[in-house]
Amino acid sequence: MRHHRAAAIAAPAEHRQAPAASIAPDAGAGASRPGEAAPEAPAAGIACLRFEPPEDPDALGRAWQAHLAPVFSVSFGPETDLSVPIAMRSYHLGELLVGDVIAPAHILERSPEMIRQQGLDHILLQFYRRGRSVVETDRAAEPVSEVQCIVFDLAQPVRIVADAVDATNVVIPRALLEKQGCHPDALHGRPLDHDGDPFGRLVHSFVANVVACGDRLDQREALASASAIIQLCATWLRGRETGSPVQHQDVRIRVRRFIEAELGNPKLSPALIAARLGLSRSTLYRVFAPNGIVTYIRDRRLMHAMRMLIRDEAQPARVARIAYAVGFTDERTFRRAFKRRFGFVPSDAVQRFGPNRGPEPLSILQTWIESL
């Protein structure tokens, strides 16, 4: 692998003193882990997750590793100083995530095995404000200086050796960029100058200002901001693409996309997926081992049902309608599966969905990314 030096940019560090994290009703399930502030349901506004350093200094490194685990595995070198300020906040804008981070020197990695297990189909943009890194990809390895943006395709391997950094982050599903005619595959690991380029400066300024105003945005403003960010980022990246889009995406990502599009189809099965995508049944079972693709389909149906139930908080949940909408053929089977998965019946979802009583101890950040 070769190296890229990555950098990113963030809003002023004073914002770290903002109130503890909040999570909007449809931002995804999941109980808080050590290092994650216990979410609260705001009266109005958008979901925010903040990294909370543990009281025990000896546990700080493990908490930071757990917080970033949905995106990168984290290790520390001899130069790492965990006594420096460490902070991260993320806002769920509905279609994408934005946020910023102040991080110590560390090593981040997405291995082929991690990519296979997670199946993420997202693009991460990091706008560095302070710090330097070396980003290693299969194609290149060169230093990236400050005031540059680095593009990460989370479906491709990467290793980052980073100094202490201050950065603004954007996580966008690839499909939303592709709808704008942008195919960022070939930009993976490449540094882009966002300060010297006028349009790049505009893109970063807009994203950083959305983050700075995050605690004061309502849902309508968040959705409008997300739409603008998608268009701005797609336009900026589209002017810098080189090479052709990757034609053969990871099998797991292709299958996941198909499943999400067909969740309401009661005939969705391994046989249908194999026939539509030209794959063998053995391939499907292999890439979804150890739990299997049937379990994965059911889990995605139930997670989607959970989000629909939470969104219907203002009116009585129509359980039968939701059951059919996510591909179950009868309400009784849906109720049994839902209770087995979450531990309570669908009609109790709103009452049971709380900051410390999520369905299972998943990382909130992981659930957010998967919900996009």
pLDDT of residue 23: 33
For residue 84, being part of any structural domain is answered with yes
Task: With beta carbons less than 8 A apart as the criterion, state whether 362 and 341 touch.
Answer: no
* Same domain, residue pair 256 and 227: no
Rounded Cα distance, 237 and 170, in Å: 13
3-state SS of the chain is CEEECCCECCCCHHHHHCCCCECCCCCCCCCCCCCECCCCCCCCCCEEEEECCCCCHHHHHHHHHHHHCCCCEEECCCCCCCCCCCEEEEEECCCCEEEEEEECCEEEEECHHHHHHHCCCEEEEEEEEECCEEEEECCCEEEECCCEEEEEECCCCEEEEECCEEEEEEEEEHHHHHCCCCCHHHHCCCEEECCCCHHHHHHHHHHHHHHHCHHHCCHHHHHHHHHHHHHHHHHHHHCCCCCCCCCCCCHHHHHHHHHHHCCCCCCCCHHHHHHHHCCCHHHHHHHCCCCCHHHHHHHHHHHHHHHHHHHHHHCCCCHHHHHHHCCCCCHHHHHHHHHHHHCCCHHHHHHHCCCCCCCCCCCHHHHHHHHC
The answer to whether position 355 is within a domain reads yes
Half-sphere exposure of 326 (CA within 13 A, CB side): 24
Residues 204 and 255 in one domain: no
Residues of the domain holding 174: 2-238
Evaluate whether residue 245 is within a structural domain.
Answer: no
Residue 64 and residue 40 share a domain:
yes
Domain end: 238, 266, 299, which one? 238
Average pLDDT for consecutive 10-residue bins of the chain (372 residues)? 38 37 39 53 74 94 95 94 94 95 96 81 94 91 86 94 95 92 89 91 97 94 96 92 55 85 94 93 85 88 83 63 94 93 83 47 72 73
| 243 in any annotated domain | no
* Residue pair 225/93 in contact by the 8 Å Cβ criterion: yes
Same domain? 313 vs 201: no
Single out the residue in 191, 206, 238 at which a domain terminates: 238
Task: Look at residue 359 in the predicted model and tell me its pLDDT.
Answer: 40
Is residue 325 domain-shared with residue 198, that is, in the same domain?
no
Which CATH number do you get for residue 328?
Answer: 1.10.10.60
Q: Do residues 228 and 349 share a domain?
A: no
Q: Is 31 within a domain?
A: yes
* pTM higher than the cut 0.85: no
Same domain, 151 and 68: yes
**What is the tally of structural domains in the chain?**
2
Q: Which of 210, 238, 266 is the last residue of a domain?
A: 238
Same structural domain, 194 and 270: no
Considering the domain boundaries, does residue 246 fall inside one?
Answer: no
120 with 255, same domain: the answer is no
